[in-house]
């Protein structure tokens, strides 16, 4: 089993019924569900997924409640990086939100799987695209 940190660009598509099955994020989900990945996420991820579903996809209260339950039961370890380590990544050009993912992966000494191009550019030693993550 491989340990990884996932960000919202990878997890949010898991809940988007419009995403094609061949989407790299869905392949990460299949690997997680098969027991091949141990996933850690910052608590921020849970808020980001609910935010996208509510504001962009316009899900109603019932659907958002089901999503919240699914996220609580999915089996991710939820942990947060220290604020100084987040701040260090902010000084390199990331938003504090993106830095939270990178700092957590760095602290855990595991890759961060993300589709965010800015994170991939700034945190080359920590971040991998979902496609790269599956190939390693």
What mean pLDDT do residues 70-88 have? 97
Which residues make Cβ contacts (< 8 Å) with residue 52, sequence separation at least 6? Answer: 8, 12
Inform me whether the pLDDT recorded for 116 exceeds 60. Answer: yes
Which residues make Cβ contacts (< 8 Å) with residue 121, sequence separation at least 6? Answer: none
Q: How far apart are CA 27 and CA 10, in angstroms?
A: 10
Domains in the chain: ranges and CATH: 2-135 (3.40.50.1010)
Inform me whether the pLDDT recorded for 32 exceeds 90. Answer: yes
Name the DSSP class of 47.
Answer: H
More confident residue, 49 or 20: 49
């Amino acid at each position: 089993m491989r340990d990884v940190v996932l960000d919202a660009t990878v997890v949010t598509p898991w809940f988007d019924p419009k995403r094609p099955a061949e989407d790299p994020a869905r392949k990460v989900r299949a690997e997680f569900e098969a027991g091949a990945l141990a996933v850690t996420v910052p608590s921020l991820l849970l808020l980001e997924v609910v935010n996208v579903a509510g504001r962009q996809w316009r899900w109603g209260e019932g659907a958002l409640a089901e999503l919240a339950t699914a996220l609580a039961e999915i089996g991710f370890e939820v942990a947060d990086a220290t604020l100084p380590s987040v701040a260090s990544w902010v000084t390199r050009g990331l938003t504090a939100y993106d830095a939270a993912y990178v700092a957590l992966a760095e602290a855990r000494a595991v890759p961060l799987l993300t589709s965010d191009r800015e994170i991939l550019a700034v945190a080359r030693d920590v971040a991998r695209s979902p496609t790269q993550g599956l190939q390693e």
